[in-house]
Structure 1
Amino acid sequence: MSIAVSADIKPSRLLFVIMAGACLSVALVGSLACLLVPLHLSFAIRSLLGLACLLAAAVALFQVLRSRKTIWLHISATGQIRVVEHLVRGNARAKPQVVKAGVAKLLAGTTIWPGMLFLRLRLESGKTRTIPILADSVSADTFRALSVACRWLISHNTAKTRMLEK
């Protein structure tokens, strides 16, 4: 059985809606902080608390928008993972602009659920990156193939680690 898989992982709309909802909730709490916080605090402290919540929500929403990139993930038959981030500017027929590319290793904290994958990868630069893959990010067949390939990689990495410990 070959585990070779190539997938274009588009940013999940569902994850964006969930994160935007969370940011808006924090912003709502911040705007209501002036009214709902006990009155024994001064108006300046309540205003600062509300402003801090609004600022946190704005920064979180900016980070969510900034991290929305299309990722090309290739898992070879030998288990090597190649990650390429790319942007498509303007026209859909335009050639994608590569932002980052490199080889990665699947880490132990990877989460594989029936409708969601969180791939924890260690890039060749040494940085750890988590790539969320929801069912709306790829086609159903690609999602299934990625899930099987990641399970295979985890089981083989665990077997290698056990052999090295003995």
Structure 2
Amino acid sequence: MSIAVSAIVKPSRILAAMMLAMASLTSTVGILIGLGAIGEMVFLLRLAISASILILSFFGFYHGMQRRKPIQLDISGIGQVRVAERSIIVSSCRESKRTHVAPYGEEVRLLPGSTLWPLMLLLQFEDANGRRITVPILRDSVSQDGFRALSVACRWITANEVRSKANH
């Protein structure tokens, strides 16, 4: 398989900042409800709602941060896509980073629900087992040329799928 586009998608700092802002705003609402500044409720109900909001806000932020890993995307000239999760190994002696990549990754197909915007790609893939993988790609995740190449390749794949469905 000759690879037409190959890119390493790093976790986006912009997306992390947006997730932190969302968790902070949600936590603020939870605190305001707990202090009685928002709404008029019985103390125990107010406390339960406030605690639930704070726990869910923390869980959402933590869960989002845990899933941030570099991903290798390889798209062939005929539209085959391979996704490989990269793991960064930091050696404590020299503080050097080595990257380990699965040899080939897994072959996936791009789903029609993927979002292809000029400043963001939200790619949804499905593997042979039916497992869905979502890869958010913002401008700071890859180089400018890499973002453009991925965008063009994904648009080409979706256009060819539409053409092939129309012919059948």
Match of 2:26 in 1: 26
Give secondary structure in 2 for the equivalent of 1:38.
coil
Q: TM-score, normalised by structure 1?
A: 0.91
Post-superposition offset of 1:94: 1.8
User: For structure 2, which runs of at least 5 residues remain unmatched after alignment?
Assistant: none
Q: TM-score, normalised by structure 2?
A: 0.90
Matched, 1:162 2:145: no
Match of 1:141 in 2: 145
Q: Which amino acid aligns with 2:9?
A: I
Compare 109-118 and 135-144 and name the one that shifted more: 109-118
Compare 29-38 and 49-58 and name the one that shifted more: 29-38
Q: Which amino acid aligns with 1:27?
A: S
Change (3 A) 1:160 1:65: same
Give the Cα–Cα distance (whole angstroms) in 1 for the partners of residues 73 and 48 of structure 2.
44
| Mapping of residues 105-144 of structure 1, within 5 Å | 105-144=109-148
Post-superposition offset of 1:95: 3.7
User: For structure 1, which runs of at least 5 residues remain unmatched after alignment?
Assistant: none
How many residue pairs match? The answer is: 161
Post-superposition offset of 1:92: 4.3
Percent of aligned pairs sharing the same letter = 36
Post-superposition offset of 1:62: 1.0
Match of 1:10 in 2: 10
Matched, 1:36 2:14: no
Tell me the C-alpha RMSD between the 2 structures: 1.8
Q: Which amino acid aligns with 2:25?
A: S
Q: Which amino acid aligns with 1:20?
A: L
